[in-house]
A and B are shown apart, each in its own frame.
Chain A
Amino acid sequence: MFNEPHPDEVRIISKRFGLPNSASIDTYLAHEGYVALMKAIEMSPEQIIDELKLSNLRGRGGAGFPTGLKWSFIPRDNPKPKYVVVNADESEPGTCKDRLLIQNDPHQLIEGCIIAARTIGCKKGYIYIRGEYRYLIDIMDKALAEAYAHGYLGKNIKGSGLDFDLYTHTGAGAYECGEESALLESLEGKRGVPRIRPPFPAVSGLYASPTVLNNVETFCTVPAVLRMGGQAYADIGTPKNGGTRMLCVSGHVNRPGVYEVPLGFPMQKMIYETCGGILNGKKLKGVIPGGSSSPVLKADECDFPMDYDNYARMKTMAGSGGMMVMDEDTDIVKVALRTMRFYAHESCGWCIPCREGTSWLRKILTRMDEGTGRRADIDLIHELAKNMLGRTFCPLGDAAAMPTIGFIEKFREEFEARLRETTMLATTPDQLISIN
């Protein structure tokens, strides 16, 4: 939509982006559209899953779970109806790729869903799109109507005997609904609070039935994997990290944008070459590499091949692919506070460590930012965040705690400097006592 293709990119799922009327079925059909589906109809479910496993495709939503393995967990002998659900609730701060995939190439997503339905033997699917993305829901509804008109959805798809209906479903503003189990609750018409797992959605998902639930980008990749073959797709990335990813680069770079690059693409190259370096010739301070939930990296850590395993080695995560680049003038205390204001606002309130933890962290970070912080606050923030880890139904508690721990551990001196400024500003003994 906004950035021209860059020579560093390997455009597989974004290759149709620049075409005229790229969202129309005619354009899609003229450019290998629905070719993978026709292939999938000839294949057995096991063969499809084998190709996905061979491709090393891992979930693009955040957790990075191998897609082939996920689909293989759907129990075949379960008599209940099965469902395909697309997570298009893109709301992880820093992430803006699913928007482009739906806006520019909705049929690619539809084809991925039909292949999933063919694999697990499912008749109904839902695309859960965040409420703010209404214009995308309209684009998607139009594409769905085209797919029905051309016989790719509905009864007896292209004479295969396969029946599949696919619908959009609007959200109504809740980050928590991007978490798979809360999304399912929301899709059932309830408040978006998480479910305890196991059972996982593959066994008990929508309406307590076996459900394949993946991110938009993951479904969009499936047709490419079947078209190219799993091995050819895997060969693009690094071992165990197949293919390409849509990286959303934002913040202080000269050419922010969404770039499709092979997994293992060097972060240094991404920042300084693909994105044209730091704005106004400034120095790099750090990068939040995979959406707001991922722990920050300092400038000297931003030189590694970006695949799932290397993010983990750097003690952060690939997450949703949202890279936020910060220059030397960035106020880390402010960024930490804004991050926590977000999580405190979005915590659904179901689990106490998250509900209370996020709001207390917000309060402490607020007073630190406002200049009324106390000496003990830095350790208090660190300790409080650590106590949230692993103690909630869903990952939102961890998602709030991990970046906070990261900010304190990597940029402690900035928090200390803020306290020193505060101390210098104190004019009465009372104020000094309250600080110390």
Chain B
Amino acid sequence: MSLTFTPETEKILQDIWSRYPEGRKRSAVIPMLMYAQDQLGVVTSELVAEVAKRCEVSPLQVEEVVGYYSMLNKKRMGKHHVQVCTNIACLLMGGEALWHHATKRLGIGHKEVTADGLISLEEVECAGACSWAPCVVDGYEYHHHVTIEKLDQLIDSIQKVH
């Protein structure tokens, strides 16, 4: 099965490719995977092969990268990937309670997806929002000073739209 990207993604991938010197295109592997995953929702073996071809490396060299980085997923995550930080600064401000609440309300655990594929959860390491803790990140969108009520509102709003 051949892989097609939207024109927007294709433009980004070509731009990424152009940033690195001749003979150093392997550098584009991680950024290409990240932006392609945004469109596809998951890293497939077709994507691995495509990135390997474009960056002039073997598929295995791409696979070993996919296996290392926590944001590259071979399992499809939810349409909304909700990440709850429980690292020290968030822990001090109630991050753990948020995590437990989210897992209980949605009935899923770490890196699991709701049956309808709408929401996935991940307990993440420090997201860089320590002074505005606790924080929850929905996709790439940061939410600060999150309370149980605010988290419920976020989940409600995701469920209402879809």
Contact = CB atoms under 8 A, between A and B. Distances in A.
Contact of B140 (A134, A171, A258): A134
Nearest to A348: B68
B65 A95 contact: no
A170 interface: yes
A245 to B, nearest CB: 14
A339 B88 contact: yes
B119 interface: no
A322 B30 CA distance: 28
B87 A334 contact: no
Interface residues of A, number: 58
B92 interface: yes
Interface residues of B, number: 44
A251 B92 contact: yes
Interface stretch (A146-154, A182-190, A308-316): A182-190
A416 interface: no
Contacts of B132: 2, 96, 256
Interface string A304-327: 000000000000000000101010
B144 A94 contact: no
Given A189-B27, A258-B131, A174 B69 contact: yes
Residue from A3, A169, A335 whose CB has the most chain B CB atoms within 10 Å:
A169
B33 interface: yes
Nearest to B145: A2
Contacts of A135: 140-142
Contacts of B21: 81, 124, 207
B130 A96 contact: yes
Interface in B84-122: 86-89, 91-93
A292 interface: yes
B123 to A, nearest CB: 10
A94 B70 contact: no
A189 B28 contact: yes
Interface of A: 2-3, 81, 90-96, 98-99, 124, 126, 130-135, 167, 169-175, 186-192, 207, 248-252, 256-258, 288, 292, 322, 324, 326, 330, 334-335, 338-339, 342, 345-346, 348
Given A135-B140, A189-B65, 18 more contacts: A3-B131, A91-B125, A91-B128, A93-B87, A93-B126, A95-B126, A124-B21, A131-B69, A171-B69, A174-B70, A186-B30, A190-B26, A190-B64, A248-B131, A251-B89, A256-B133, A326-B92, A346-B125
Leading 6 A-B pairs by shortest Cβ distance: A173-B71, A172-B69, A189-B26, A173-B70, A250-B130, A189-B29
